Amino acid sequence: MRVLMVDAAGFSPPYNYALAAALRARGVDVAIVEPRDTEALWRDPDALPAASGGLPRSLARIGKGIRHVIGTQQLFTRIRHEQPDIVHFQWLPLPMVDRVLLSRLAGKVPLVFTMHNTSLFHGVASSGVQGWNAVSSYSAFDRIVVHSRYGRDAALRAGRATERQLVCIPHGAFAHYTALCAPERANRHGPFTFVFAGSVKPYKGLDLLVAAFNALVERRPALDVRLIVAGSPGPDIAPLREVADHSAGAQRIEWRLRHQSERELATLLACSHAVVLPYREIDQSGVLLAAVAMHRAVIASDIGGFPEVIRHGDNGLLVPPNNVEALSRALERLADDAELRAQCEASMRVLSNGALSWETVAGQTEVMYNSLRSS
């Protein structure tokens, strides 16, 4: 079986390469279609995003749009020449252009789409150019993969897919992180370390975590804890920093406000005791899947697809969203209870090697591919 896996914007190389490798191990011939420099950056775990060259954002977007139009035509030519058995799209970066390609392919080759987010770009682009024709584009796909039962229900409620199209296949744990950190770097001596990682955006609830952490420090000043915030800052981070810098926990919060390379993220997780995901809205999180692979306890909002991965009191703690007091108490509980933390880590190890292994994910994906070929 020949599969073209298309990520035209290079949005999700960790997912693409992990799934492709597991499929190839099962005998599936997978070729990844992506921007020219994506693989080189991905193979370098210390790589950071390239500078934009100083172009104004509007001009940079126009340039990307033009390249995408050209790339779409090249992809159509390639598909017509190679005649793959399946074309599997990971994202639709510019639906108003992608829709044209999909209409030319529909009925000629089975089309699959992975709906990583059931809310388009977490709502950021829903009123912009990137949102145009997105929903109407989904009708061209024979199957749409979602990563959770929550995602399936959300896609149905929003009218973005039909029962016939939807297939629920979990997101695998990012096991490649385990090879990126030398054992001697996995030093967890010193303060109990909570980590918030990834780009800082309003829906991720960092403001809730800072408030909860400060409440913990005020309540238990002798408790030896710290919080590391690591990731690209959003435009509205300054007010939060101002509040945090004048709070009880100011000296215990470490800010690493820039993009983290794959190796830096692996080392950060290896040296942490718990990952905190106080999100307000989410389908599934790449940071969560990295934490699973690194066998770290997780504290997360009880929303989206999180409860389908995190079992409260077994491999992590779930708290009501937007509840600072509950989040603060969960931080305290995990920092106090070494036995609970050990239980969480052991359960994450089982999960990463079983239900969320890429072998499991690839097996379910191959079943879906075969069903399309035989239909």
Q: What pLDDT is attached to residue 30?
A: 98
Q: What pLDDT is attached to residue 229?
A: 97
Same domain? For 216 and 349 the reply is yes
Same domain? For 147 and 193 the reply is no
- Going from the C-alpha of 202 to that of each of 20, 118, 367, the distances in angstroms are 32, 17, 38
Q: Does 207 have pLDDT greater than 90?
A: yes
Q: Does 230 have pLDDT greater than 80?
A: yes
Q: What pLDDT is attached to residue 67?
A: 78
Same domain? For 267 and 216 the reply is yes
Q: What pLDDT is attached to residue 33?
A: 95
Same domain? For 60 and 185 the reply is no
The single residue listed with the structure tokens 């995190």 is: 310
- Among 360, 235, 209, 211, smallest CA distance to 287 is for 209
Domain count of the fold of the chain: 2
Same domain? For 152 and 86 the reply is yes
Same domain? For 166 and 102 the reply is yes
d(CA 270, CA 358): 21
**Residue 286, Cα to own-chain centre: how many angstroms?**
3
Instruction: Note down the domain range covering 110.
Output: 2-172+357-374
Q: Which CATH number is 46's domain given?
A: 3.40.50.2000
282, 248 contact by CB (below 8 A): no
Same domain? For 24 and 95 the reply is yes
Percent of the chain with pLDDT over 70: 90
Same domain? For 331 and 364 the reply is no
DSSP 49: P
Q: Does 132 have pLDDT greater than 60?
A: no
Q: What is the pLDDT of residues 36-54, one digit of tens each?
A: 889 888 889 999 876 555 5
Run of H or E residues at 358: helix 358-374
Q: What is the pLDDT of residues 266-324, one digit of tens each?
A: 999 999 999 999 999 998 899 999 999 999 999 999 999 999 999 999 999 999 999 99
Taking the C-alpha atoms of 374, 355, 280 and 17 in order, what is their torsion angle to the nearest 10 degrees? -60
What does the angle CA 324 – CA 271 – CA 276 come to, to the nearest 5 degrees?
20
Mean pLDDT of the chain: 90
193, 224 contact by CB (below 8 A): no
Same domain? For 164 and 41 the reply is yes
Categorize the per-residue pLDDT at 186 as very low, low, confident or very high, splitting at 50, 70 and 90: low
Categorize the per-residue pLDDT at 55 as very low, low, confident or very high, splitting at 50, 70 and 90: very low
Same domain? For 267 and 223 the reply is yes
- Among 207, 216, 248, 250, smallest CA distance to 335 is for 216
Q: What pLDDT is attached to residue 127?
A: 44
Q: Does 231 have pLDDT greater than 90?
A: yes
Same domain? For 136 and 263 the reply is no
Same domain? For 336 and 363 the reply is no
Q: What is the pLDDT of residues 57-109, one digit of tens each?
A: 554 555 667 777 888 888 989 999 999 999 999 999 888 889 999 999 999 99
